């Protein structure tokens, strides 16, 4: 059994240390000691049993609080006071160098919490460590100087989560919808170098990868681009290739019509498209930005964005090639094709590709095969999105953050070149537990917590307010978001709904379970769950009217925070069956991972909550290996088109370097009770010698997860 020390490193649980600590406090009495040696051993044994039964690794602080509790249960109040005073004194000494210890532990790669904070960052790499070091300093500055004490306290206690505090000291924002069309057509500047309009598709792809890298280094969230913005350059390449072909034929004395030369032209064009897409995908996979990870990039594939039929046909070729290359995968260090984490792909389902008789049905069939093998693409229903977004269909920013419809001064909708200011997530489970099932108290606490979130979000907003465009030229001056002048403030982009700011929420299932005794899928409990969603929407609308800032409700993709919230709830309220008895809480509105429900019912049920998550959300279904049952995948895809705006299928795609096993690597418990990954064929448990891909928060993760998230993955039931 392990414990987590104050600096985040793991250590073996030692019951003798607990006995010694209690004995010191007990023996320090001026008179007769309050506890016998037998009682001290009993207390230590109780704590050991508690730690064994709780199902997760406890922190030193949690164990010390257990010591205090059990000492007082034995009526040894003076001993408890002495123990508490000792803890307080030690904490004062430690306060001065907490940040130093955190930094040193992550440099030595023994900070377990930081190591598994982000499943797409390798903590052993220098660039990642450098980013984490800067993050620790930034968090320290934010906590001591920049954020109000009550917001810090609420964050530390898991009442809210102030996302990306490690980037708060800088004037940085969350997600972007990159205006790639503007940057390619009108030129841009990268690292002080003028980049003019490209004269071929392959050059456009190369420039796009440079833009992606620059944008990723200027913000901390996800970004999205559309393949439709690359499609016009196919025709430019076609004309260029045609001229060269005709010139070559004339040089050897040939004389054929342009029509007769078309097969040669199209073959060469296809090869250029293949190389261009390969550049885009491989560059994204191999790029490492300043924060030590590949860009969190999403690629949008939507035929409806094209301006004419020729452009649509060209876009279809790009989409086909993108899907073919992703289906193949990328080679790992052993030369075996595996599933890459990025770029994330989103395929839009529309009338032109949703039925067998549709002209682009072949693309949907290819998408289904790719999903079954490589977990992507995910799917947006044009029909459902248009119902919810004023007749528009557009990409999410990154994995799920969604813009609100916005019109420019000419009354035209605009989506590209917009962004998200940041996120603060509300722990709904804590509200429920704090109310003690008293409904009046529940809504009162809810109001207090919403006010806390509003003030935290305004801290995010005010941190960006006054930022000069010089802080990130690629974003604010050179077209990714805007074309502001040097020295100009970005303030006008923060108001009137141009950008969004997100109220996240977590644990709707557990909240409803505690208040009603039922899952939110139960028809008796569902109305209350929907009422909570509407209540948060009402709050966001009130804040928007008050400030003109684009507040929206966001179905938070908890990664490490799902574990943090669970630990905080157990610490504050103990173990409550069905509510706090797991080392994780449920993401946003999702059906609990252990609840048995079929894929179609799950998607239909969650669609009503997704519609109320105006700032973004995504639903998923857990499926087995579907590569031999593509028709079932297509059936699910058709269902998504008719019933839910945004959904994905989670399958498994792993590889063991030791024995070559290609399938699902399983999760087991080691001798200390810790969850570890194990190859079912050879028993390999060395994470550095396996590739595992799982979707945990919208993106595919490939660098493993903390214990809470790992147990959540282990307990997922299949929906098909």
The residues that are catalytic are 174-175, 397, 399, 401, 420, 554, 559, 698
Three-class secondary structure assignment of 352-414: CCCCCCCCCHHHHHHHHHHHHHHCCCEEEEHHHHHHHCCCCCCCCECCCECCCCCECCCCCEC
Please give the backbone phi and psi of residue 8, each rounded to the nearest 5 degrees, phi first: 95, -10
The burial class, CB within 10 Å (0-12 / 13-18 / 19+), for 275 is middle
What is the CB neighbour count within 10 angstroms for residue 271?
12
Q: Give CA–CA dist 17/608, Å, rounded.
A: 52
Per the CB < 8 A criterion, the answer to whether 375 and 695 are in contact is: yes
Using DSSP's 3-state secondary structure scheme, residue 280 falls into helix
Token readout for 577 is 């069956």
588: left (phi over 0), alpha (psi -120 to 50) or beta: left
Q: Give CA–CA dist 175/553, Å, rounded.
A: 15
Q: Give CA–CA dist 449/431, Å, rounded.
A: 8
Q: Give CA–CA dist 576/582, Å, rounded.
A: 9
Using DSSP's 3-state secondary structure scheme, residue 665 falls into coil
Q: Give CA–CA dist 260/241, Å, rounded.
A: 14
Distinct helix (H) and strand (E) counts, the chain? 24, 25
How far apart, in Å, are the Cα atoms of 343 and each of 225, 265, 275, 277, 652? 10, 29, 16, 12, 17
Q: Give CA–CA dist 709/246, Å, rounded.
A: 59
Q: Give CA–CA dist 423/401, Å, rounded.
A: 10
Q: What angle do CA 520, 523, 528 make, to 5 degrees?
A: 55
Token readout for 671 is 């001798």
- What are the residues facing 500 on neighbouring strands? 420, 550
DSSP string, 550-569: EEEEEE---STHHHHHHHHH
Per the CB < 8 A criterion, the answer to whether 216 and 289 are in contact is: yes
Find where tokens 């939110």 sit: 520
Handedness of CA 511, 513, 517, 520 (dihedral sign): positive
Using DSSP's 3-state secondary structure scheme, residue 35 falls into coil
Using DSSP's 3-state secondary structure scheme, residue 466 falls into coil
Using DSSP's 3-state secondary structure scheme, residue 223 falls into strand
Q: Give CA–CA dist 202/224, Å, rounded.
A: 19
Handedness of CA 347, 629, 586, 561 (dihedral sign): negative
416: left (phi over 0), alpha (psi -120 to 50) or beta: beta
Q: Give CA–CA dist 189/104, Å, rounded.
A: 38
Q: How many residues does the chain have?
A: 720
First to last CA, the chain: 36
How far apart, in Å, are the Cα atoms of 501 and each of 74, 275, 360, 397, 497? 50, 38, 36, 12, 9
Q: Give CA–CA dist 160/513, Å, rounded.
A: 20
Cis peptide before 377 (omega within 30 of 0): yes
Using DSSP's 3-state secondary structure scheme, residue 505 falls into strand
């Amino acid at each position: 059994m392990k414990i987590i020390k104050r600096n985040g490193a793991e250590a073996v649980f030692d019951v003798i240390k607990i006995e010694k600590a209690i004995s010191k406090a007990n023996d320090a009495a001026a008179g007769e000691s309050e506890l016998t040696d037998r009682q001290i051993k009993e207390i230590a044994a109780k704590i050991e049993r508690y730690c064994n039964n709780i199902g997760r690794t406890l922190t030193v602080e949690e164990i010390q609080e257990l010591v205090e509790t059990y000492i007082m249960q034995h009526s040894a109040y003076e001993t408890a006071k002495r123990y508490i005073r000792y803890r307080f004194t030690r904490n004062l000494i430690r306060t001065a160098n907490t940040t130093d210890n955190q930094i040193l532990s992550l440099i030595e790669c023994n900070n377990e919490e930081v190591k598994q904070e982000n499943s797409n960052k390798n903590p052993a790499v220098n660039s990642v460590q450098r980013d984490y070091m800067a993050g620790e300093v930034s968090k320290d500055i934010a906590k001591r100087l920049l954020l109000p004490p009550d917001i810090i306290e609420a964050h530390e206690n898991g009442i809210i989560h102030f996302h990306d505090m490690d980037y708060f000291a800088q004037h940085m924002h969350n997600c972007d919808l990159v205006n790639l069309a503007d940057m390619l057509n009108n030129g841009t500047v990268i690292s002080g170098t003028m980049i003019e309009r490209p004269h071929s598709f392959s050059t456009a792809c190369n420039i796009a990868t440079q833009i992606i890298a620059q944008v990723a280094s200027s913000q901390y969230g996800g970004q999205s681009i559309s393949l439709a913005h690359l499609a016009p350059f196919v025709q430019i390449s076609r004309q260029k290739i045609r001229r060269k072909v005709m010139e070559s034929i004339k040089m050897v004395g040939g004389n054929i019509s342009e029509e007769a030369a078309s097969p040669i032209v199209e073959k060469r064009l296809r090869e250029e498209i293949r190389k261009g897409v390969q550049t885009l995908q491989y560059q994204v996979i191999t790029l490492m930005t300043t924060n030590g990870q590949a860009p969190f990039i999403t690629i949008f594939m939507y035929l409806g964005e094209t301006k004419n039929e020729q452009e649509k046909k060209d876009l279809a070729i790009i989409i086909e090639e993108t899907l073919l290359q992703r289906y193949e995968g990328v080679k790992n260090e052993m030369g075996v094709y595996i599933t890459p984490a990025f770029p994330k792909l989103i395929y839009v389902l529309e009338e032109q590709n949703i039925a067998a008789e549709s002209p682009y049905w072949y693309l949907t069939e290819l998408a289904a095969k790719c999903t079954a093998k490589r977990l992507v693409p995910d799917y947006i229903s044009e029909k459902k999105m248009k119902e919810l977004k004023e007749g528009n269909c557009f990409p999410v920013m990154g994995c799920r953050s969604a813009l609100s419809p916005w019109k420019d001064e000419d009354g035209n909708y605009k989506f590209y070149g917009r962004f998200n200011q940041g996120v603060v997530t509300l722990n709904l489970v804590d509200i429920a537990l704090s109310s003690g099932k008293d409904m009046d108290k529940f809504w009162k606490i809810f109001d207090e917590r919403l006010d806390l979130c509003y003030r935290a979000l305004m801290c995010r907003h005010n941190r960006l307010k006054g930022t000069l465009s010089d802080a990130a030229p690629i974003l604010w001056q050179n077209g990714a978001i805007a074309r502001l002048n040097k020295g100009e403030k970005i303030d006008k982009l923060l108001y009137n709904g141009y950008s969004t700011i997100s109220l996240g929420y977590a644990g709707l299932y557990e909240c409803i379970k505690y208040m009603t005794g039922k899952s939110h899928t139960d028809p008796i409990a569902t109305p209350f769950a929907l009422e909570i969603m509407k209540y948060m929407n009402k709050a966001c609308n009130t804040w928007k009217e008050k400030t003109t800032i684009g507040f929206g409700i966001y179905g938070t993709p908890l990664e490490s925070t799902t574990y943090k919230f669970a630990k905080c709830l157990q610490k504050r309220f103990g173990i409550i069956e069905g509510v706090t008895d797991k080392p994780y809480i449920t993401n946003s509105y999702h059906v609990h991972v252990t609840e048995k429900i079929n894929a179609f019912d799950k998607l239909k049920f969650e669609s009503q909550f997704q519609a109320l998550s105006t700032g973004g959300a995504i639903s998923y279904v857990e499926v087995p290996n579907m590569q031999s049952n593509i028709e079932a995948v297509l059936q699910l895809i058709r269902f998504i088109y008719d019933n839910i705006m945004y959904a994905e299928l989670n399958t498994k795609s792993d590889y063991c370097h030791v024995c070559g096993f290609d399938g699902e690597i399983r999760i087991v418990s080691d001798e200390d009770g810790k969850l570890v990954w194990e190859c079912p064929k050879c028993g390999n448990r060395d994470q550095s010698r396996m590739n595992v891909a799982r979707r945990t928060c919208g993106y595919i993760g490939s660098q493993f997860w903390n214990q809470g998230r790992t147990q959540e993955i282990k307990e997922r039931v299949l929906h098909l």
